[in-house]
Chain A
């Protein structure tokens, strides 16, 4: 090895603590980059392959009932490659070991396995056999949640009759990668499952012989989706079509795609916070090294080393640190990515999901570490290159100090000499102090975003389940029913109070923009299901017009007072004009509300209801569940407690990991910044501090000069970091502001407190490490050396 490279390695070894701290910050940034983007790659690659191999549909439509003959006409629409007409129904299930009712979605499949759209991939057991109407294939999630497999059976209430469904196989479908019940906050495999059943048997059970109520289309490449959707809607209109939609709005695909978008977004933004801090640290440390090695640089140049060689020598310093951080980070990122993918595998279900670390992600990771190295090193390297050798022979002139602004304002007498040293040193290098402050603030900010989700979710759950949805159970009927149904329901055991629920599927149009959703009618002064304003107070329903989720208004380009067209997709399918009376901030979906009576008038119906909200005496809950399981009119039962449990389970699992890593990573940044700042101050000022010791200052006193500066920086950085954190949180909330769900921007004082504490602890830890060095400062040695 060349002598100059030996010098490099030994120099690095001498400040290994700092080198390690910087490499760690780079490593974390690169690890996140690799983890996020490789997970994105693996998931999106799998998604693409899965959709392709199992023929995931392009357009989805539900309807009331159409004759089979319509299938041929759908197939004639130019651009349609394949049509899959199906019967789909929701039923209440009675599963062994569960007192509460479970919702099952039955989806028809041909009796003989053919290459259908949204095809099944069998995980276990076999496909159904012709002529055996009770045989079903079940989703893997449901089977796992209940320990079910081929040979087991579940009981379903189908059209008023209890019927045993025999499970013969377990399967996955690209239609249910994310198996969530519409309207639910989180998937709940124990309470919602999909069953594939023979078309013939299902049609029989639901009076659908010779007809279908659901259709999936696959388009030819290059076909116009918008046009095909419009023509499909035209054809289905007569048959109670609920509006065809692109796969973009197919719920499973929507969640998956939205998650993928976020992964990519995080992967391209978050790592740069770390790399920015790392570049700053590299800059500070390398600048200091060049300054300390002034005379060595002079000697090298005098000995005949060219500027290029000297510049390369110090660049290599930076490249080695960044490179090793990058390589270790990439390896860490690989493990993190595999871990993330495993976590995703728990709630996105694919028949195959292989972790894939694409070469371009690895190259990208190395590229960004290189970038950090170059950005971080450039100033110092330029300094080393430009250093005139003759000048470098002489020691650096003493640094220029002056009285600080604070002192010049006449407050001088208030400060002790050591305090003045601290202040003047900070003011002499304001940029460096500022950069340290920004670095530490970033770590504070990271902590806040790590922790604020807990606050946000707490508020979300509180608003959703204590203020807005105060019912314990939401029932959905198979068909809208007359007002008598409410009386019936309210007499069920355990029901304390009941409110009618009426919602109709609609298509909203505003100019050329449109969306499919549902309009929910609300009774006057509701006590159970309420709409909540942005200050979390129940909103009074206007007698005229509609209330609309702010997100939906945004999508449709509407404001308060705007008029929109509402095409009802049920019954006589009236088309109405409505005014947006007010906007509300809701966390889930894109709901529209209106007065129940006004909705009835639109529908030209009596006090019909499509479901009911129930408040239940928990003591009688089991009896109520038993009843509900047997009621033929009930299609779905949603329990609040189950929703909260599912939400919390999911969040606990994910948030625990997320918060752990956030605290770890933020601490790495703080330690990296504070430790480096302290070591550099120590290196710059050890002579000065040793002189003070000789003058009789105690170790404590000189530590307070050195560490006082850092304490001051940290104290300034903490509140700034909390503000930065609030800003990050706001960005995060914006990033998560999707049509599917949104998070409230709430940061509790607990979050602020914990974040401040972690930063302070990390800073103190770094300070103590340096303090130990200070205690071992060899006075004689330090004073002897020539700076």
Chain B
């Protein structure tokens, strides 16, 4: 691993999908103000698999939510492929999420009343150029569980359905929030494999949030977050296969 300068302010990297400048996010909790992000600058390159690593409370989920158009920063700008996300209205953000972003959540957030296939169909039905739900589920190795409801699937299987759901629209970016946070190592590895495969085969720009340092080893680049700031960014020259990861 080679450490690089954290900040390359003022320049725009070639092929950068995301450029974030001075992102600050303050939550107003009534009596107290919580500074989740304190001026973050970041770029994510096309096709790259980035791991955002940090302890809980470091602001990584907030950052991911802002990149994914789920939240807006209190200050700062975010550009997606040259367009300014932070200037988009609610409709624009919805359109952005709908057409470009795939989300994977820590607790899967599957719709319990829909089968695996239907959970994926939820997305394919509103996307312009989706995979079929069957293809998407095959991609994550769940071709034989398509008609199971979430309650009939293990945690790892549920998360893989969530990944299938996220990639079915063939998104430009795949954002994963602690995808293995609720899973044991074996199922966690299966999930990571699925993410890695999507990144590799479909070329989807991928960001994975985790507090698990071991996962960083499968990334092209690791962004360390602490206390709402980027502590350092590390380029990983010796990416590991998820099967080699141990924690």
Contacts and interface: CB of A to CB of B under 8 A. Distances in A.
Do chains A and B stick together as partners? yes
Interface of A: 2-4, 6-7, 10-11, 14, 295-296, 298-307, 309, 388-390, 393, 786
Interface in B150-177: 165-166, 169, 177
A306 B61 CA distance: 22
Contacts of B241: none
B65 A299 contact: no
A295 B97 contact: no
Contacts of A307: 90, 94
Contacts of B98: 303-306
Nearest to A391: B71
Contacts of B127: 304
Contacts of A389: 65, 70-71
B125 A390 contact: no
B94 A306 contact: yes
Interface string B112-129: 111000110111011100
Contacts of B125: 2-4
Contacts of A786: 107
B70 A295 contact: no
Nearest to B113: A10
Contacts of B122: 3-4, 7, 300, 303
B68 interface: yes
Given A3-B121, A389-B65, A393-B70, 18 more contacts: A3-B114, A4-B122, A6-B118, A7-B118, A10-B113, A298-B70, A299-B109, A299-B111, A300-B122, A302-B70, A302-B105, A302-B109, A303-B165, A304-B123, A305-B126, A306-B94, A307-B90, A393-B109
B18 interface: no
Contact of B97 (A2, A4, A301): A301
Nearest to A294: B109
Nearest to A302: B103
Interface of B: 61-62, 65, 68, 70-71, 90-91, 94-95, 97-99, 101, 103, 105, 107, 109-114, 118-119, 121-123, 125-127, 165-166, 169, 177
A306 B114 contact: no
B103 A306 contact: no
Contact of B94 (A14, A298, A304): A304
A383 B94 CA distance: 18
A10 B97 contact: no
A3 B118 contact: yes
A300 B109 CA distance: 9
Q: Which of B113, B126, B166 has the most CB of A within 10 A?
A: B113
Nearest to B106: A393
B113 A7 contact: yes
Contacts of B99: 304
B90 A296 contact: no
Nearest to B117: A3
A3 B107 contact: no
Nearest to A307: B90
Nearest to B127: A304
Contacts of A7: 111, 113-114, 118, 122
A157 to B, nearest CB: 82
Contacts of A390: 62, 65, 70-71
A441 to B, nearest CB: 35
A10 B70 contact: no
Contacts of A309: 126
26 contacts: A3-B118, A3-B119, A3-B122, A6-B113, A6-B114, A7-B113, A298-B109, A299-B105, A299-B111, A300-B111, A301-B70, A301-B94, A302-B68, A302-B70, A302-B103, A303-B123, A303-B165, A304-B99, A304-B126, A304-B169, A305-B94, A307-B90, A309-B126, A389-B65, A390-B65, A390-B70
Contacts of B111: 3, 7, 296, 299-300
Nearest to B165: A303
A14 B113 CA distance: 9
Q: Which 4 A-B pairs have the closest CB atoms?
A: A304-B98, A390-B71, A299-B109, A10-B113
Contacts of B71: 388-390
Nearest to B62: A390
Given A2-B125, A3-B121, A303 B114 contact: no
A587 to B, nearest CB: 60
Contacts of A302: 68, 70, 97, 101, 103, 105, 109
